[in-house]
Chains A and B, each alone.
Chain A
Amino acid sequence: ETGVTQSPTHLIKTRGQQVTLRCSSQSGHNTVSWYQQALGQGPQFIFQYYREEENGRGNFPPRFSGLQFPNYSSELNVNALELDDSALYLCASSSFRGPNYGYTFGSGTRLTVV
């Protein structure tokens, strides 16, 4: 079975720019969650998508937005980038909407904002 694939693996953006990160969920998974992991911290929940609808959101401003497509792949968009947005962004997929059974995480996208 395929795992969770994220692209790109690294990118550098300038403050004020916009960025789109992509995630292909594991085969058979219909739920995707996004997490932000700042250096030296644990991952923080951004939001979750279930069957193309936002299903829950963490404490992140509206400039963090997302999409889920009919094939259950997903995008994370961040507008008006700030220096504090520099982090590892992790995508996780599951075949269940709740966290009960554990999510499968991708290797992440390392975003650096300069």
Chain B
Amino acid sequence: AQSVTQPDIHITVSEGASLELRCNYSYGATPYLFWYVQSPGQGLQLLLKYFSGDTLVQGIKGFEAEFKRSQSSFNLRKPSVHWSDAAEYFCAVAFSGTYKYIFGTGTRLKVLA
């Protein structure tokens, strides 16, 4: 079955530190890949997406993600975290010919001042 794994349930970083959130998927074909952010009580905001081409994609708010086919991974990174980045982050995949996202269980980010 298709699945998305976000191995880190919680991550705490200091403001100004770098960040990497991990995402792995299980499926033979290359999916469409997404990262969403959810602030408390809010819906999901799209940070970035990957369909094909350059495996390093840039998103909003200074985030980037790298697709590694050999590792079935799509990790999210930010060089310097801001206190406003504290939120929950979801990795999602979708496949050509289907209509739905498959989401990971999320990583909750806490930022220390």
Contact = CB atoms under 8 A, between A and B. Distances in A.
Interface string A22-58: 0000000000010100001111110010000001101
Interface stretch (A13-21, A65-73, A75-83, A98-106): A98-106
**Chain A interface mostly:** loop
Contacts of B75: none
B71 interface: no
Contacts, number: 68
Nearest to A3: B43
Given A42-B105, A43-B90, A100 B100 contact: no
B72 to A, nearest CB: 18
B49 A98 contact: no
B99 A100 contact: no
Give the interface size class of chain A. Answer: 20 to 34
A7 B106 CA distance: 25
Interface in B58-113: 90, 92, 94, 96-106
A98 to B, nearest CB: 7
B51 interface: yes
Contacts of A55: 99
Nearest to B106: A42
Given A99-B98, A99-B101, 5 more contacts: A42-B92, A55-B99, A92-B44, A98-B99, A108-B43
15 contacts: A6-B43, A33-B100, A41-B106, A43-B101, A45-B102, A56-B99, A56-B100, A99-B99, A99-B100, A100-B32, A100-B51, A102-B34, A102-B49, A107-B41, A108-B43
